[in-house]
């Protein structure tokens, strides 16, 4: 069965530190990849997505992610985090013919200390 792994469950950073959150998926065919963010008390919001083309994807709020097919990875990065980036981050995949279903990782809770 397809699965998505997020290696870091809790991450604590100071403001201005760089961020990289890992995401690996198990499906070997065509994939669509997503990062979502959920700020406290708010809805799940799309940060960025990859369908095809340039494997380096830029999203909102200064986030980017790189699709590395050979490593089955789609890591999320931000060069300098802010206190307002405190949230839970979810990686998700739509794979192959199962185009109706997003398969989510377990999420990473990021706390940024001022």
- For other proteins, the binding residues (CB under 8 A) are 4, 6, 32, 36, 41-46, 49, 51, 90, 92, 94, 99-107
Q: Which is nearer to other proteins, 19 or 33 (CB)?
A: 33
Minimum Å gap between C-beta 85 and other proteins is 19
Between CA 83 and CA 90 the distance in angstroms is 18
Minimum Å gap between C-beta 36 and other proteins is 7
Minimum Å gap between C-beta 16 and other proteins is 29
DSSP state, 99?
T
Q: Which is nearer to other proteins, 30 or 113 (CB)?
A: 30
Q: Which is nearer to other proteins, 18 or 106 (CB)?
A: 106
Closest CA to 93 of 21, 23, 19, 11: 23
Minimum Å gap between C-beta 39 and other proteins is 10
Between CA 25 and CA 36 the distance in angstroms is 15
CA torsion sign for 16, 18, 22, 23 is positive
Q: Which is nearer to other proteins, 81 or 94 (CB)?
A: 94
User: How many angstroms separate the most distant Cα atoms in the chain?
Assistant: 44
CB 30 within 8 A of CB 94: no
């Amino acid at each position: 069965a397809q699965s998505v792994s997020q290696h870091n469950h809790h991450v604590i950073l100071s403001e201005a530190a760089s961020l990289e959150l890992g995401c690996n998926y198990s499906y070997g065919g065509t994939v669509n990849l997503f990062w979502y963010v959920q700020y406290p008390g708010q809805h799940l919001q799309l940060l960025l997505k990859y369908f095809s083309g340039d494997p380096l994807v830029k999203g909102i709020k200064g986030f980017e992610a790189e699709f590395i097919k050979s490593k089955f990875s789609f890591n999320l990065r931000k060069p300098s985090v802010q206190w307002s980036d405190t949230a839970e981050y979810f990686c998700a995949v739509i794979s192959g013919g199962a185009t109706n279903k997003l398969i989510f990782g377990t999420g990473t809770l990021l706390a940024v200390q001022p």
